[in-house]
Structure formats: C-alpha cells, structure tokens
Amino acid sequence: MALVLARKGVGRKGEPWSALPFLLPAYGLFLLFMVLPVLEALWLSLHREDLFGRGREWVGLGNFQEVLARPEFWKSALLTLKFALVVAPLELALGLLAALLVYRPYPGVAFFRTLFFLTTAVPTAVAAVAWGWFLHPVGGWANRLLAGLGLPPQPWLTSPDLALYTLGVITAWAGVGFTAILLTAGLQNIPEEVLEAATVDGASPWTRFFRITLPLLSPTLFLVGLLVVLKSLTAFGQIHLLTRGGPAESSMVWIYRVYQDAFFNFQVPLAAAEALLLFLVLLLLAALQFWLIGRRVHYAA
C-alpha cells in the first residue's frame, strides 16, 4: 500500500511549499521569541551604553569580566547553589514518601493521590501567601507547633540566617505534587515479579525497599532530582512575594539578581551577562538530563 502511494506522489521528496503553512506558526514564533532574544542577550552582553546615553559601544567580554569580578555576583551564585541543595533532597524525600504511599492501588488510593498531587494546582503566589501566614510571627501555626514542643519561636523569614532555608522548604513543598507524580510513575515501572521473588525468599519490607526498590528507582530519582535542581535555579515568585531577596540580600539568588540589576539598578548589559551565565549553567544541566534520558530510552528499547 505504502509503495503504491509513494509512486503516486504522497511520499515524494519535495513538499516544501505545502509544509510551510504547517511549520510557519510554530517556527516563526520560535525564531522571533526564543532564538532572537537569546542572540540579543548575547549582543547586549558584549556592548555597553556610552557615558552620554544613546550609543552602544563594543566592550567584548568586558561585561562578563565585570560581573565575575563582583563579590555580589559570587554571593548570589553561592546562595543559588545552597538553595538548590536545600530544595532538591527535601523535595525528593517528600515526593518519594508520597509516591510510596500511592503507587499501588488500594481502596481509597485516588483520594490520597489527589491530596498528594494537589500542590501542582497551587499557583506560586498562593503557595507563598499560605506559607507567609503559616509562618506568621503571631498567628502562624509553625511557631505554635514549636511552642507545643516547648521550643522558642523562630524568625523564619526575617532572619538572614534562616530566610533562604525557609524559602527552600516552601519551594520543596510547592514541588511535592510534581515530584510525587513523576516518582509514582517511576515506581509503577518497577516489575512486580522482582519484588514478589524477594518476598518469597523471605526479604523484609525494609530489605526490599533498600535492596530492590531504591536501586531500581535510582535512575529515575537522579533524573527527577536534576529536574528539581533546574526548577529551583529559576525560582522567583515565592522569593519576590516573601522576602524581596532580603533580609540583607540573604535570599538574593541568581535570577533575582538579574531582575534587580535589570529593573532597579538599570544595568541592562550587566544583567544580560548575568542572565547568560545562568543560562549556561542551566544549559549544561539540561544537556546532562537529555543525555541521561537518551541513555535510559536506549536501555528500555
């Protein structure tokens, strides 16, 4: 059949003009709003406005040199790393616990799935406000729960030593639904027979979890962990709503620094250079993720 059609011209080599109207909407938008801005960011980062305004002069890598020489930049980069290191393990652990509780069917599982996956439906701003109230110095439950345990109240968002970690917990909480969904799918892909065989051999639930489930899940865990890191590197809304990068710049993460430098300090070329450097980091992580997915698909095939 296909052969006949091919001779009739369906599969002929040249259909470029009939393909164009199909491709133009998507690829036109890609070109205009994705490729062009990246190129422009590159162009911007290589120029600087001259002292008296309008013109721009070529400064080569000057902006990058200046950014890399600023202690604030390195402070932000370090804060971002710290933030990711708080968010990723916490979100993975919380998501894994949720996934373990709902990946197998039992009466009522749909109810718990809904509750565990719920945070995917909570907009960032709402999550931030909910936590803002939860952590409220007077009315918040967090300090009340601490008081119940006989512990002193904590300045969750107002102490420079604590704010970044608190924001990390909030970010992990907001991501639980996302992580739980991906890990539930990962757990469901582990062949049941392997676990049954281990049960027959007399393995305890703990042994089964640590010796079989966890090793078999580890590629998925790593991949999801990478995704969580990628997301946490561009977390913005909750920081903007709750701390504005403070107190004392203690939550001024990389992406917030770009925003601050571009829209408040009006240092667009420097901000563009900062954005491109962040872009580079994200690109490397995303490429790693792709390579891993490719390898896993290869294994599965």
Q: Please choose, from the candidates 84, 174, 167, the residue with its C-alpha nearest in 3D space to the C-alpha of residue 120.
A: 174
Question: Which member of 230, 246, 247, 249 binds other proteins (CB under 8 A)?
Answer: 230
Residues 6+ apart with CB under 8 A from 142: 134, 135, 154, 156
Q: How far is the CB of 249 from other proteins (least distance, A)?
A: 19
Considering only residues 48-87, where is the footprint of other proteins by CB under 8 A?
Answer: none
Is 18 a residue that touches other proteins (CB under 8 A)?
yes
One of 7, 36, 214, 248 touching other proteins (CB under 8 A): 36
- 29, 78, 151, 248: which one contacts other proteins (CB under 8 A)? 29
25 binds other proteins (CB under 8 A): yes
User: Coil, strand, or helix at residue 219?
Assistant: helix
How crowded is residue 277: how many other Cβ atoms within 10 Å of its Cβ?
18
Show contacts with other proteins in window 162-191 (CB under 8 A): 173, 176, 178, 181-182, 185
Name residues contacting other proteins, limited to 249-268 (CB under 8 A): 255, 258-259, 262-263, 268
Contact, 153 vs 146, CB < 8 A?
yes
- The nearest distance, CB 171 to other proteins, in angstroms, is 13
* Per-residue tokens: 255: 């992406």
Identify the residue whose tokens are 């757990």: 187
Binding range to other proteins, per CB under 8 A, among 8-16, 53-61, 65-73, 149-157: 8-16
Candidate list 90, 96, 164, 272; residue touching other proteins; CB under 8 A: 272
Single out the residue of 63, 76, 80, 119 in contact with other proteins (rule: CB under 8 A). 119
Asked, as a colleague might, if the bond just before 215 is cis with ω within 30 of 0, I would say: no
- Smaller CB separation from other proteins, 33 or 52: 33
Secondary element (H or E) of residue 47: strand 47-49
Q: Residue from 33, 52, 58, 206 that binds other proteins (CB under 8 A)?
A: 33
- 60 or 148, CB closer to other proteins? 148
Q: Does 210 bind other proteins (CB under 8 A)?
A: no
Could you tell me the smallest distance in angstroms from the CB atom of residue 261 to other proteins? Answer: 9
224 lies in the binding site for other proteins (CB under 8 A):
yes
Q: How far apart are CA 217 and CA 196, in angstroms?
A: 16
Map residue 203 onto helix, strand or coil.
Answer: coil
Burial class (CB in 10 A: 0-12, 13-18, 19+), 270: buried
Contact positions with other proteins (CB under 8 A) in 85-104:
94, 97-98, 101-102
Q: In this chain, which of 112, 210, 266, 291 binds other proteins, going by CB under 8 A?
A: 112
CA distances from 300 to 188, 198, 219 (A): 15, 23, 12
What residues numbered 281-300 form the site for other proteins, per CB under 8 A? Answer: 282-283, 286-287, 290, 293
Tokens linked to 283: 């690109």
Q: Mind giving me the DSSP string for 259-290? A: HHHHHTS--HHHHHHHHHHHHHHHHHHHHHHH
Site string for other proteins, 122-151 (x = CB under 8 A): xxxxxxxxxxxxx-x-xxxx--x-------
